Amino acid sequence: MRRLARIITLFAALAGLLLGLGVPAQAFPQAAFPLTSNGSRGSDVVALQHLLAAHGRPVAVDGAFGSGTQSAVVGFQQSKGLAADGIVGPATWGALAITVRQGDNGPAVTALQSLLNAKRGAGLSADGAFGPATGTAVRTFQSHAGISADGVVGPTTWQNLLWHYENINFGGTTMCAQSPDGNAGAHWATAGAVGQLEAAAATFAVTGNGRLPVGDAGFEHGGDIPGHGSHEVGMDIDVWPARTDSAQCTAGRITWQSSTYDRAATRRLVQEIRAKAPGHVQLIFFNDPQLISEGLTTSYANHDNHLHIRYR
């Protein structure tokens, strides 16, 4: 018993020392810099484009990773002696991430503000000026992530913020939220998955086939979700097929066998999903045999009434 007491005392002393040194008690254990590449979309790409500008390589800030962004990334990688593959992974993010704190100004601060707005609803003016409001938002996020809430945005804060999932925006006229399994708050996914889906929904909306119903994606920090065997790592999003009356957001749920199923509109939806995320759609589960024969979707049990998109 005395030995156990000594061990407990030792661990308590070590914990106190770590807290005294300002070492974070716990960050998200799964947090990692995202892989971002040609075809990616969303708030991580916006941040990337601002960070490139901070390193003297300005590109259009449009949230779409196209040829211009790729060229700037390759040039940056070459300048830092990194593998010049145009893929922004941990090493490239680490080189791009500039430590910023209150009083700083510039594109790196704009990148920070845009991420805090997209992922935590901070409501900041993305003006590139690190003032008190930005400092408060940073400390709030750091506390949320379980890291030292010192208001200084260094590598650990950048990594946790870039990793953090994003809530799908249903404030516009292109999508509607559905919760068929009763999973409240299950519309979170990676920034890339959210950006790519939102782009597809915006294009689909102009076809006149109604809004896109979005079912479960995942929880804010991932993990097990009732009713699903996946949807744990921010890459899976369920959407519903189109109806002939375009009322898929307000009328009853259908399957591909229903008389009100609109195959042409659903085909167009799948095509838009793939077109807005070239190289970033791993699969789409949906059991319409015609769409399967066209190579647009893949058969999987229990996917008659929804399309399961898995991004990568």
Average pLDDT, the chain: 93
CATH of range 167-311; options 3.30.1380.10, 3.10.20.30, 2.40.30.260, 3.40.190.10? 3.30.1380.10
Residues near 109 by Cβ (< 8 Å), separated by ≥ 6?
A: 100, 128, 129, 130, 134
The predicted structure's pLDDT at residue 7: 39
List the CATH code of the domain at 26-164: 1.10.101.10
pLDDT in tens, 104-155: 999 999 999 999 999 999 999 999 999 999 999 999 999 999 999 999 999 9
- Copy the structure tokens of residue 303: 């996917």
pLDDT in tens, 156-209: 999 999 999 999 999 999 999 999 999 989 999 999 999 999 999 999 999 999
Q: Tell me the DSSP string of 106-173.
A: SHHHHHHHHHHHHHH------SSB--HHHHHHHHHHHHHHTS--SS-B-HHHHHHHHHS-EE---SSS
Q: Give me the residue spans of the domains in the chain.
A: 26-164, 167-311
Question: Can you give the pLDDT at residue 8?
Answer: 38
Mean pLDDT (whole number) for 256-269:
99
- Residue 27's pLDDT is what? 73
Strands (E), the chain: 166-167, 175-177, 188-189, 212-214, 236-239, 281-285, 307-311
Q: How far apart are CA 109 and CA 112, in angstroms?
A: 5
- What pLDDT, in 10s, does the model give residues 268-301? 999 999 999 999 999 999 999 999 999 999 999 9
Torsion angle of the four alpha carbons 118, 74, 282, 312, in this order, in degrees rounded to the nearest 10? -40
pTM of the entire predicted model: 0.91
Chain segment 57-91, per-residue pLDDT in tens: 999 999 999 999 999 999 999 999 999 999 999 99
The confidence score (pLDDT) of residue 243 equals 99
Residue 19 pLDDT greater than 70, yes or no? no
Count of CB atoms situated within 10 Å of the CB of 104: 17
